[in-house]
Amino acid sequence: MGLSVSSVRSKTDGDISKASTYALVPSIALRRHLMLTPKLGIAGGPYALYAFNKTNYPSEENTEFKQYNIGADLHIEYFLMQRFGVSARLFGVSYSKMRTDPTNYSGFKSSSFNAGLTNQLSLRFFYVFGKGFGK
């Protein structure tokens, strides 16, 4: 099981307006590891993700973005040390629901289902906790 939380704060100084953005992206994943060699293996399992982004414009209305994502994926892993490794995503299946809520405008809602092989490099560094690992 894993838990990840990301937080981003940024400010933009432009000719027209100054905007500030706040984003929060917590996710949780359950992984099953299958070792092919002592240093190489595959891992897969379900995950859930929630993304929230709020942008404040001084001269306009604020916007909020929310996304819910559930799915399963498969990674190939390489252990640099006994419990610390790096993995690359190979395959994924997911369902995503998004919503944008600007105050003055009509927002949008969308839902999507995705499945397929990864067409980009997505690396993850991880540490494995628990008894019995690496024996």
Q: Does the residue 134 lie in any domain?
A: no
Residue 79 lies in a domain: yes
Residue showing tokens 């942008």: 55
Structural domain boundaries enclosing 54 = 2-127
Please give the Cα distance from 33 to 129 (Å, whole number): 12
Reported as a single tens digit per residue, the pLDDT across 85-106 is: 999 989 999 999 988 876 556 6
If one counts the domains in the chain, the total is 1
The predicted-structure confidence for 102-125, as pLDDT tens digits, reads as follows: 655 667 889 999 898 877 787 888
Domain contains 96: yes
- Per the CB < 8 A criterion, the answer to whether 111 and 97 are in contact is yes
pTM of the model: 0.68
Amino acid letter, 103: T
- 83 is a domain residue: yes
**Distances in Å between the alpha carbon of 118 and those of 44, 98, 130?**
14, 21, 29
